[in-house]
């Protein structure tokens, strides 16, 4: 097969159930031992077992290319200043074709060199907070994002764009909403979270349009009210096609799909609007803005990084000994079935586990434990008045009845209430920043 190295351009022939196939592309470090991986010209990778490859020939050796960045388009002093905070993800990245890895590309000149259309919308400042997988983000990172946002606002930025891995972006967006508006205020400027579902080396990447739309909103969107879900927003593709990005409330949104470009959808809430993105990077905002009445918050409220919340999912594998784990936590968030239910009854007399569950919940709440109910159903309210089981759970001390806060924002809200020392019952009943609207009952 010769001795091509990672980064070389090769032609590969391999056997498949449909017959022999031939591919050309860049040889990458193998995806697994005993395999060969090639990045095709369309951006996708193909991997074959070495035993399936009948021929691999060298077409061209890897070249070391010194990347020379242009200075980018000149800055327009008449445009507003915005700050882009990078936490991770593939939205601002380039591919190392020797290793196959995606590396961050985030200096201002690099961003403008890669996406020169940004210069049409704002004067860009950047700060790199990290390059993390989003599933590794903790409350300390939420706090760091909001400290950096405050610094940006204090230095004159009218908006902040936070580039973020998509898997947990909705948690961080909810944290920003509570940090700035959970105390009754509103942020000094616009806060936007955005990311990319498709990596930058693929023809179907969505990152460029998402970033352009996010920068446009941060620079030119309406002032946030702090009370209708607009304290922080998520801006991502509205559909699988190019040209329109959705503006979603940061405290009422979830990632619903692992790979679609329109993965993010509102929970018990409609989009705040859309942004049309033209082929030349021009943007137009479509939204019904409300007038802001809240006072501007001077700084965000920090999350107590020591608070720990135990999340338990109701179902056939929920047991009483799981409640015992709560002694190491500050609260339990139950992800109940339907309107908010737990397996605590044994009508057939054949499931003593349910009886034990009921007793465990009883003891936990009676000893001062905080237990809050959310739903696995995503959309819809918690309604523990409808069935006798729900009313019994309330008698045991389970909180959360009538809430419309989505299950992900519920976790963040509970953390916020614990951090600020508020009464969880009254705080849960309140609509702090648009997370707990009653409109779905109408």
How many other CB atoms are there within 10 angstroms of residue 233's CB atom?
30
Residue 387 has, within 13 A of its CA and on its CB side, a CA count of 11
| 181 vs 143: CA distance, rounded Å | 14
Q: Which of 39, 150, 255, 413 is catalytic?
A: 255
Residue holding tokens 């007038």? 291
Q: What value does the CA radius of gyration of the chain take, rounded to a whole number of Å?
A: 25
From first CA to last CA, the distance across the chain in angstroms is 69
Cβ atoms of 412 and 176 closer than 8 Å = no
Q: At 294, phi and psi to the nearest 5? A: -75, 155
Cβ atoms of 138 and 304 closer than 8 Å = no
90 is known as an active-site residue: yes
Q: Which of 166, 208, 375, 437 is catalytic?
A: 166
166 is known as an active-site residue: yes
Residue holding tokens 């009483």? 320
Q: Which of 37, 90, 126, 231 is catalytic?
A: 90
Q: Which of 96, 113, 167, 242 is catalytic?
A: 167
Cβ atoms of 404 and 437 closer than 8 Å = yes
Cβ atoms of 184 and 157 closer than 8 Å = no
Question: Coil, strand or helix: which one is 426?
Answer: helix
Cβ atoms of 333 and 415 closer than 8 Å = no
Question: Coil, strand or helix: which one is 123?
Answer: strand
167 is known as an active-site residue: yes
Cβ atoms of 285 and 221 closer than 8 Å = yes
* Burial of residue 280 (number of CB atoms within 10 Å: 0-12, 13-18, 19+): exposed
For residue 8, the Cα-to-chain-centroid distance in whole angstroms is: 36
Q: At 93, phi and psi to the nearest 5? A: -155, 165
Q: What is the DSSP letter of 399?
A: B
Question: Coil, strand or helix: which one is 316?
Answer: coil
* Burial of residue 224 (number of CB atoms within 10 Å: 0-12, 13-18, 19+): buried
Tell me, letter by letter, the H, E, C secondary structure of 194-226.
ECCCCCCCCCCCCHHHHHHHHHHHHHHCCCCCC
- Annotated catalytic residues are 90, 166-167, 255
């Amino acid at each position: 097969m010769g001795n091509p190295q990672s980064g070389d351009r090769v032609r590969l022939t391999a056997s498949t159930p449909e017959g022999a196939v031939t591919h050309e592309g860049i040889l990458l470090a193998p995806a697994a031992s005993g395999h060969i991986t090639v990045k095709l010209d369309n951006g996708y990778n193909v991997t074959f077992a070495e035993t399936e490859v009948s021929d691999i020939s060298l077409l061209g050796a890897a070249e070391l290319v010194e990347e020379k960045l242009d200075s980018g388009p000149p800055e327009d002093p008449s445009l507003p200043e915005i700050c882009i905070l990078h936490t991770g993800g593939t939205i601002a990245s380039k591919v190392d074709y020797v290793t196959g890895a995606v590396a961050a590309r985030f200096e201002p000149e690099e961003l403008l060199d890669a996406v020169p259309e940004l210069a049409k919308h704002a004067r860009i400042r950047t700060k790199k907070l990290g390059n993390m997988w989003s599933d590794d983000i903790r409350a300390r990172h939420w706090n760091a994002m909001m400290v950096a946002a405050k610094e940006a606002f204090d230095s004159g930025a009218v908006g902040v764009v936070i580039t973020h891995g998509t898997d947990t972006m909705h948690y961080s967006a909810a944290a920003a909403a509570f940090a700035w508006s959970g105390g009754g205020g509103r942020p000094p400027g616009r806060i936007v979270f955005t990311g990319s579902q498709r990596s930058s080396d693929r023809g179907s990447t969505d990152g460029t349009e998402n970033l352009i739309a996010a920068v446009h909103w941060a620079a030119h969107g309406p002032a946030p009210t702090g009370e209708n879900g607009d304290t922080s927003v998520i801006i991502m593709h509205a559909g699988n096609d190019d040209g329109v990005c959705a503006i979603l409330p940061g405290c009422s949104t979830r990632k619903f799909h692992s790979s679609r470009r329109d993965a993010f959808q509102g929970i018990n809430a409609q989009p705040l609007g859309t942004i049309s993105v033209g082929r030349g990077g021009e943007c137009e905002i479509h939204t019904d803005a409300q007038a802001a009445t809240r006072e501007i918050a001077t700084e965000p409220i920090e999350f107590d990084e020591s608070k720990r919340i135990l999340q338990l999912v109701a179902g056939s594998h929920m047991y009483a000994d799981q409640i015992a784990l709560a002694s190491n936590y500050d609260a339990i968030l139950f992800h109940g079935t339907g309107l908010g239910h737990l397996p605590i009854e044994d009508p057939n007399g054949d499931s003593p586990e349910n009886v034990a569950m009921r007793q465990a919940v009883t003891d936990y709440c009676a000893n001062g434990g905080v237990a809050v109910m959310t739903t696995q159903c995503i959309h819809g309210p918690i309604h523990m008045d409808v069935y006798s089981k729900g009313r019994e759970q309330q008698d045991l001390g389970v909180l959360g009845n009538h809430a419309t806060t989505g299950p992900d924002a519920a976790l963040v809200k509970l953390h916020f209430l614990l951090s600020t020392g508020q009464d969880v019952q009254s705080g849960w009943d309140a609509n702090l920043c648009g997370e707990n609207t009653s409109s779905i009952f109408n």
